[in-house]
Amino acid sequence: MSAAFKRSVQFGARFVGRRAVSSQARNATDARILKVAIGCTVAGGAAAILAGNAFRSLTVDKLHAETKRAAPDFHLYWASGSPPCWRVMIALEEKGLSGYPNTLCSMQDKQHKSEEILAINPRGQMPSLRVGSVGLNESMGAIDYFEMVYKGQGTSLYPSDNPEQLALVLQRKNEVMNVHKKCVEETLFYLFKDDKTDEEVAKRTEVFKTELMFYENYLSQQKTGAKYIAGSSFSMADVVFFPYIAFFVRLGLSLDDRFPNLKEYYERLSQRPSIQKTWPPHWKTAAAPSQLLKVI
């Protein structure tokens, strides 16, 4: 065990000792977790709107002490409910890597700004992945890391035998960053604001709907049976896309008649083992503190 790994295990162990807090308090952190995890700032007061000024400690837990199998030396620090963190956890499960060393961090306690995490991640964001002595905090890179290192194990998240299908998966995987930009940064974060106007809300919710409609159309235009975001198999595109849809549903988005294919997709993938297993812990115990996306 390397010195760096020992330090990280000790760090994780300190987290284990903390007490769990109430489900209400966990629940209140949805907005804050997303913001910190993705490294964005929001106008003053926005966090408080969604969280109802009820920020308290998240339960902090080190879920797994040992790796399941011989594996590169890595450790994942994550926050509950953050789409960037969730995508890494789904990829790990799909690659058959249950039981990896990990630490659930409290944003409220600023554990993402702790010395231990800043040492591997100078930007202090979630997720933080330590690989040996290297910090890999970019979640879009972390999911590729596990696919590349564990190629041939578990789900093939990139098709290896069909260049055209590979192109489609790479297109959709990266295209989902538009959901982040348009739906999260441009719309959801605006809805947090105190001084929002009806006109601007209408404009931005239209941007949100237009973006989601791309994926609704991708699903509807595919041939029968091709019910994933990039065709007939679960792929890296779903690893990145699904957590956003689930986050939006939690915040009140209704996938009604406007998005029938996305609704079916959400309901079906919610039952997928890798997604069930990594479902944000605090979502299981309490409703969201806000239903801001009901306006969409």
In the complex, what is the shortest distance from the CB of residue 127 to a copy of itself, in angstroms, rounded to a whole number? 12
Instruction: Please give the Cα distance from 20 to 22 (Å, whole number).
Output: 7
Nearest CA to 46 out of 35, 56, 37, 38 is that of 35
* Dihedral angle over CA of 18, 24, 28, 34, nearest 10: 60
Confirm or reject binding of residue 43 to a copy of itself (CB under 8 A).
no
Smallest gap from residue 278 Cβ to a copy of itself (A) = 21
132 binding a copy of itself? (CB under 8 A): yes
Amino acid 19 reads R
Report the residue from 45, 52, 122, 273 that binds a copy of itself according to the rule CB under 8 A.
122
Q: Which stretch in 55-63, 106-114, 131-139, 284-292 sits in contact with a copy of itself by CB under 8 A?
A: 131-139
Smallest gap from Cβ 139 to a copy of itself, in A, equals: 8
SS3 (DSSP) at 224 = coil
Please give the biggest Cα pair distance in the chain. Answer: 58
Least distance to a copy of itself, CB of residue 164, Å:
4
In Å, what is the CA distance from 112 to each residue of 16, 19, 203, 262, 286?
A: 16, 18, 34, 33, 24
Cα–Cα distance, 205 to 158 (Å, whole number): 33
| Contact range with a copy of itself by CB under 8 A, out of 92-100, 101-109, 155-163, 251-259 | 155-163
Among 134, 202, 276, 284, contact with a copy of itself (rule: CB under 8 A): 134
List residues near a copy of itself by CB under 8 A. Answer: 72, 122-123, 129, 131-138, 140-142, 144-145, 148-149, 158, 160, 163-168, 170-171, 173-175, 178, 214
